[in-house]
Structures are given as structure tokens and as C-alpha cells.
Amino acid sequence: MIARRAAPSPEHLEALARLHAEAFAPERGWSAAEIAALAEGGLLLSAEDGTAFALLSRAADEAELLTIAVAPGLRRRGLGARLLAAAEAAARAEGARRLHLEVAEDNEAARRLYAAAGWEEAGRRPRYYLRPGGARIDAVMMRKAAAEP
């Protein structure tokens, strides 16, 4: 079950920061303060048991999916797809007509998830992500029209 949390507690933010660091290791995860700042005025959804979360920003009739983090041991069980669908529905309920995201070119699992959900490539940001060891990876920009409810 996915729950929307309007004002996460400091404890919840710390748990989300730990999850983000675990989900995106060895890259740097986001701190609790960074997640709180991004969630302010945005949409934060998380699994009730704290095993996954999504964060979106909103402006006018657009929403940007900033991150989806799923605990590594729980991947490939449909949780990410359910969370993505809930995030899209929440953005649509808030008035978003267009959805955007960017994903690292080498994140094949996420790219498959987004493609299966109807997202399409809209461009690239060359050498956007820095990997441990200094390698640079393109960001793939994706978009999706928010379907009518």
C-alpha cells in the first residue's frame, strides 16, 4: 500500500534518507534535509512500511519525478511500478498535465520500468551524472502526458 505523507516527521525523513542512500549506493544519497526541502511544495509518497518512496516537484500544470527509491532487497516485485503509478495519479490529482523525469543512461532497470509505464525519451543531458571513479554518464530525459482520470 502506498501512503501520501504531506508533512513527514524528522524520523521519517531520516529513514527515507537511509533508504535513498542504500538504493543509490555507491552514489551519494540525499540527506534528510535535502528530501525535506524537495518535498516542501512537492509530492512525497512512500510505502507504509518504509521500503520505497517517490518524490515529485510540481509547477503549474507540470510535475517532475525527482526520485523513486526501492530497497534493494525488494526490487523486481512490482513495488516500483505501483509507486510510479501512485505518483503519476497523485500528480494528476494535483493538476499536472505533463510529467517529466531524468534517469541515468546506465540505469537499465529504471528505464525499463518507465518505458513499460508509457514514458518516452525526450532528450539527453550529456555527461550529467558523475560516477565513482570519475566516469560521466548521460541523463536520459523522459516525458509522459498525464492521462485523464
pTM of the predicted model, to two decimals?
0.90
Cα separation, 46 vs 94, whole angstroms: 17
- DSSP code of residue 8: -
The pLDDT of residue 149 is above 70: no
pLDDT recorded at residue 5: 59
Nearest by Cα to 104 from 136, 72, 65, 71: 136
Planar angle of CA 16, 45, 105, nearest 5 degrees: 75
Q: Where are the alpha helices (DSSP H) in the chain?
A: 10-24, 32-39, 79-93, 108-116
Distance between CA atoms of 103 and 114, rounded to whole angstroms? 9
pLDDT given for residue 26 in this prediction: 78
Residues 69-116: tens digit of each pLDDT: 999 999 989 999 999 999 999 999 989 999 999 999 999 999 999 999
pLDDT tens for each residue of 13-67 = 999 999 999 998 877 889 999 999 999 888 899 888 889 999 999 989 999 999 9
Burial 45-69 (b: 16+ CB within 10 A, else e): bbbeeebbbbbbbbeeebbbbbbbb
CA dist 21 → 28, 32, 35, 109 (Å)? 6, 11, 12, 18
Asked if 99 and 63 touch (Cβ cutoff 8 Å), the reply is yes
- 3 state SS of 116: helix
